[in-house]
Amino acid sequence: MPVINYIEANGTEYSIDIAEGVSLMQGALDNMIDGIVAECGGCCVCCTCHCMIDPAWVEVAGAAGAEEAEMLEMIDSRSETSRLSCQVKVTAAMEGMVVHLPESQY
């Protein structure tokens, strides 16, 4: 299982083993990481699983699809590396990936 590193807005870091095929959102929820709210349960309709992929990992995470990109436009705190964590599925290539969580979701 790849290790994904989540960093909360306050600097708290978590290194979590997440099975391939599981979303970054579900990995955070399963490990009780506070910075992911996930009100819609991963249906790409609420933006409460917003995260920022560390710039070094953007290519590995891939680009947002059209539906996700439209949802991301609604987030005031979005950045160039913003993604909805429900839409990013973990792969073996993500071993060591760093994911930043926004202050707005606490």
What is the rounded average pLDDT for all residues in the chain?
A: 95
CATH code where residue 88 lies: 3.10.20.30
Q: 3-state class of 98 per DSSP?
A: strand
Task: Tell me the residue type at 7.
Answer: I
14-65 residue pLDDT tens: 999 999 999 999 999 999 998 899 989 999 999 999 999 999 999 999 999 9
Count of domains for the chain: 1
Q: How far apart are CA 80 and CA 91, in angstroms?
A: 22
Confidence of residue 81 (pLDDT cuts 50, 70, 90): very high
Q: Are strands 98-100 and 3-7 parallel, antiparallel or unpaired?
A: parallel
Chain centroid to Cα 102, Å, comes to: 10
For 78, the domain range is: 3-105
User: Considering the entire predicted model, what is its pTM?
Assistant: 0.94
92-105 residue pLDDT tens: 999 999 999 998 77
